[in-house]
């Protein structure tokens, strides 16, 4: 059994499960022999592309089968996958999962369970699907002290933003993404940054040893971004991206997800359509960027197969697969204390003293202004400001008081600038 | 000894060796305990930044020391490093090297020696220095059939080309690179593509199981590229990059290094200055890009430290570190049979029938023309053509016969277009 030949089960036979099963059945046999023995499905009467003898509706048939070395979990959602993974690891079976929700929820606990039971647990597909980035972060870069990990790690929102950069409205871009199957009928998870938040929580754990709660990760989506914001971004030689950003300095640790203005020459600006990218910074490595397909059955299955090979290779040595997780180096830094620079659009009445009043409120909050452009005259003038770096707290306080000025009809947009 | 604590020696204490030694002496001890026991140098009287008791001039003191688990080779050049590595592996010691010349020369043999002796051999730093790309290619992507690996893997030439894109001449850019220490006093290896060729040979072995000889890898450098070529590239929305490209299709395998016109929206066009990037294509992964610092002591030491951690982790299991190398899927394809599209600048006499004569010679060789622009009149007219895809053989034959036309004063440039 342990001699380059392994028995595998798959939990789930949906879109990704089917792709994984097909890959397992045709795996390049130079590397490893895989014997696919069981597939857990919820409806065993449904027609499948693979041998129906593999099918079971009973998880215990897999959990209690001593011949099964490795289980691939591709069920989706947190339960029952989470309990299944725990049980399998406790039984010393290796587990590969693509499930970001579970790893974000209790990754640290599961990794410890794997270590205690000398079992492998890999989840490369949970972040940035087809891009091999978690293994390099865990292994190749384990000796590096990292200062930042930032990523475009939600393909759906990046597809929508790219369409908007090319002139589409948010509504049209979303509808188009839904028609192409990139966005769900209810797109909330993708467009409100929730999917990216889960992935940011996984990156926080692996890169900095920190397991933030969902509330700790400040999250803002892209649904309020407009075509006009993109027009302004273009005038400033920038574009707009939904970025998950994790910073770790002596001042503290902060993970957050929000749309940002990115300079058009920055590597993240070049990540277009449904692509993903993860940028990693540290003193010795300067800046690395990993980019590629962030979604889809084939890339996800590719990451899972890579994990299967790693686990099989590791199982031969009967050894746990993890270095010790990193120890957090600093305390947390609340979002209100994070410095950023803001792009702000105000609808104002063009009358003497407007700018002075606004500038004075920024000044009171210690926010200095980098540039101001006024467009139009009269009651519908638009004032577009970019601030210098200031704390989130000072920026939101400024905006709150500015919004109350009689001469300001509305705060049309506030978007942070990627620093 | 085998319990998370390892004894290490370093061969060489130059620029990179010193950076590695400093990292080893300050390694994050959550992961592994390293005991640096010896450093091989050629001149033991020289002042060093580390404990002089570590120094030896005698390689045998290291090779015959049974306490030493792992040796880091950063001597540079092929000999004596190659013989040292062989001897160490045969003695079951793990070896980490940054030496592309040695791995290009006899990587396959050394990997086999490592496998036979259950020793680790890693060389992440040999290609694209600080970018973790070899380990992902060897491990995460081992189950993928790859169709192309293409890279900007020489930082010096990319620095020069980037300066030329910004308006510099070749001579000025080279001189500047030399003043900054990016280019050697004799820059041949970098600017003529020889360094990139060695790295392409390593990628060929790891990604396709092929060990081409140096003669098999067609190599052209950047020393003939001019400012005018860049002006034309810009008009065509392209830039010029020195690319190592390895293709593997049913038609055969070919590895080559040459300057190419790259579309300005292509990910390789965004790799500027001394950065490196490796692009990987395959059916399931579509296209991945790894980018980051391709040279320098700190990034190189970072890759070596990553390898040290991997090797120590692996040594605990007393198991060889390699999957079987890939088996070549196809035969070789000679460069003359490789299809490409060419950008061609001709200095011509502007007289009736010139274009017809040129077009007819292309036609005779089955080369069709995508676009033609003529600039200037009289004896100093310039004709700039871009061809459709045709075999290298047909393209060179066309150019040879066109160069012999009375109305063609000279073939000013021929640069391939990245397809």
* pLDDT tens-digit series, residues B247-259: 999 999 999 999 9
DSSP A91: T
Query: How far is the alpha carbon of A64 from chain B, nearest alpha carbon, in Å?
Result: 28
Tokens of B391: 């075999």
Is residue B310 less than 8 Å (CB to CB) from chain A? Answer: yes
Distance CA B132, CA A418 (A): 25
Could you tell me if B88 and B219 lie in one domain?
A: no
Tens-digit pLDDT profile for residues B356-398: 999 999 999 999 999 999 998 888 899 999 999 999 999 999 9
Instruction: Give residue A200's pLDDT.
Output: 98
Select from A269, A389, A410 the least CA-distant residue to A341. A389
Distance separating the N- and C-terminal Cα atoms of chain A: 52
CATH number at residue A103: 3.40.50.720
Instruction: Tell me what ipTM this predicted complex has.
Output: 0.95
Q: What is the pLDDT confidence band of residue A384, given thresholds at 50, 70 and 90?
A: very high
Task: Give the confidence band of A316 by pLDDT, cuts at 50, 70, 90.
Answer: confident
Are B152 and B282 within one domain? yes
Task: Kindly determine whether residue A308 and residue B130, on different chains, have CB atoms separated by under 8 Å.
Answer: no
pLDDT of A28 > 80? The answer is no
Question: Is B72 domain-assigned?
Answer: yes
Q: Please indicate whether, in this complex, the C-beta atoms of B292 and A289 are within 8 angstroms of each other.
A: yes
Q: Is the pLDDT of residue B3 over 80?
A: no
Q: Looking at the predicted structure, is the pLDDT value of residue A317 above 80?
A: no
Instruction: Judge whether B211 lies within some domain.
Output: yes
* Mean pLDDT confidence for A95-117: 96
Beta strands B146-152; B238-249: pairing state: antiparallel
CATH number at residue A268: 3.30.360.10
Secondary structure of residue B188 in the 3-state scheme: helix
CATH number of the domain residue B361 falls in: 3.30.70.260
Clarify whether residues B269 and B368 are in a common domain. Answer: no
Residues B169 and B185 in one domain: yes
User: Contacts of residue B293 in chain A, CB cutoff 8 Å?
Assistant: 285-288
Q: Residue B361: CA atoms inside 13 Å, Cβ hemisphere, count?
A: 17
Same structural domain, A113 and A50: yes
What's residue A2's pLDDT?
A: 41
User: Does residue B221 belong to any structural domain of this protein?
Assistant: yes
Residues A80 and A38 in one domain: yes
Residues B125, B310: Cα–Cα separation, whole Å: 13
Tell me whether A23 touches chain B (CB under 8 Å): yes
pLDDT band at B2 (very low <50, low <70, confident <90, very high): very low
Distance from C-alpha of A32 to C-alpha of A29, rounded to nearest angstrom: 5
Name the band, by pLDDT with cuts 50, 70 and 90, for residue A377.
confident
Count of the separate structural domains present in chain A: 3
A211 and A240 belong to one structural domain: yes
Q: Residue A348's closest CA among A322, A324, A326, A377?
A: A377
Q: In the structure encoding, which two tokens stand for residue A346, read together? A: 């105000």
Of B30, B139, B291, nearest to A289 by CB-CB distance is B291
A183 token code pair: 């966005």
Q: What are phi and psi of A274, to 5 degrees?
A: -85, 10
Are residues A278 and A243 part of one domain?
Answer: yes
Does B328 fall in a domain? no
Mean pLDDT of all residues in chain B? Answer: 94
Do A301 and A255 fall within a single domain?
no
Which residues constitute the domain of residue B389? 335-417
Structure-token pair, residue A379? 């009651």
Residue B302 resides in a domain: yes
- The helix (run of H) or strand (run of E) holding residue B81 is helix B81-90
Tell me which chain B residues have a C-beta less than 8 angstroms from the C-beta of A264.
Answer: none
Whether residue B322 lies inside any domain: the answer is no
pLDDT digits (tens, 9 = 90+) for A53-105: 999 999 999 999 999 999 999 998 999 999 999 999 999 999 999 999 999 99
User: Do A278 and A307 belong to one domain?
Assistant: no
Is residue B323 in some structural domain? no
| Mean local confidence (pLDDT), A39-45 | 94
User: Does residue B77 share a domain with residue B170?
Assistant: no
Q: Which of A93, A199, A238, A241 is catalytic?
A: A199
For residue A222, tell me if it sits in a domain.
yes
Q: With beta carbons less than 8 A apart as the criterion, state whether B403 and B325 touch.
A: no
Q: Which pLDDT tens digit goes with each residue over B32-78?
A: 899 999 999 999 999 998 999 999 999 999 999 999 999 999 998 99
Contacts of B313 in chain A (CB under 8 A): 139, 323
Q: Among A293, A324, A348, which residue terminates a domain?
A: A293
Test the A interface: residue of B6, B19, B20, B140 with most A CBs within 10 Å: B140
Does residue A239 belong to the interface with chain B, where contact is any CB pair within 8 Å? no
Q: How far is residue B312 from each of residues B70, B119, B123, B142, measured CA to CA in Å? A: 8, 11, 14, 22
Strands (DSSP E) contained in B227-271 are 238-249, 252-263
- Residue B320 confidence (pLDDT): 61
Residues B149 and B257 in one domain: yes
């Amino acid at each position: 059994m342990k001699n380059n030949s392994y028995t595998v089960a798959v939990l789930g036979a949906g879109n990704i499960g089917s792709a994984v099963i097909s890959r397992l059945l045709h795996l390049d046999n130079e590397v490893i022999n895989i014997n696919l023995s069981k597939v857990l499905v919820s409806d065993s009467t449904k027609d499948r592309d693979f041998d129906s003898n593999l099918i079971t509706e009973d998880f215990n048939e897999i959990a209690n089968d001593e011949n099964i070395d490795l289980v691939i979990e591709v069920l989706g959602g947190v339960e029952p996958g989470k309990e299944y993974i725990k049980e399998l690891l406790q039984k010393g079976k290796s587990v590969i999962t693509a499930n970001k929700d579970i790893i974000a929820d209790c990754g640290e606990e599961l990794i410890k369970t794997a270590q205690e039971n000398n079992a492998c647990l890999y989840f490369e597909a949970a972040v940035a699907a087809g891009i091999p980035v978690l293994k390099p972060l865990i292994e190749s870069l384990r000796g590096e002290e990292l200062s930042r990990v930032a990523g475009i790690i939600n393909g759906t929102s990046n597809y929508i933003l790219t369409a908007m950069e090319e002139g589409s409205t948010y509504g049209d871009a979303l509808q188009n993404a839904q028609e192409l199957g990139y966005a769900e009928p209810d797109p909330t998870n993708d467009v409100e940054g929730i999917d990216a938040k889960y992935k940011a929580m996984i990156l926080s754990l692996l890169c900095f040893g920190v397991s933030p709660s969902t509330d700790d990760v400040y999250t803002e989506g892209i649904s309020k971004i407009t075509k006009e914001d993109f027009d302004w971004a273009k005038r400033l030689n920038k574009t707009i991206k939904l970025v998950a950003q994790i910073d770790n300095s002596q001042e503290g640790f902060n993970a957050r997800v929000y749309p940002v203005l990115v300079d058009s020459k920055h590597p993240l600006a070049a990540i277009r359509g449904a692509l993903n990218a993860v940028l990693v910074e540290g003193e010795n490595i300067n800046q690395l960027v990993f980019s590629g397909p962030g979604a889809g059955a084939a890339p996800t299955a590719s990451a899972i197969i890579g994990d299967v090979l790693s686990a099989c290779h590791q199982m031969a040595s009967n050894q746990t697969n993890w270095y010790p997780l990193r120890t957090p180096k600093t305390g947390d830094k609340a979002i209100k204390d994070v410095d950023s620079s803001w792009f702000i659009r105000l609808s104002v009445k063009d009358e003497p003293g407007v700018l002075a009043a606004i500038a004075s409120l920024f000044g009171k909050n210690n926010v200095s202004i980098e540039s101001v452009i006024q467009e139009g005259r009269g009651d519908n003038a638009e004032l577009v400001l970019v601030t210098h770096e200031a704390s989130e707290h000072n920026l939101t306080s400024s905006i709150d008081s500015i919004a109350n000025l009689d001469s300001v009809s509305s705060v049309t947009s506030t978007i942070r600038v990627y620093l």
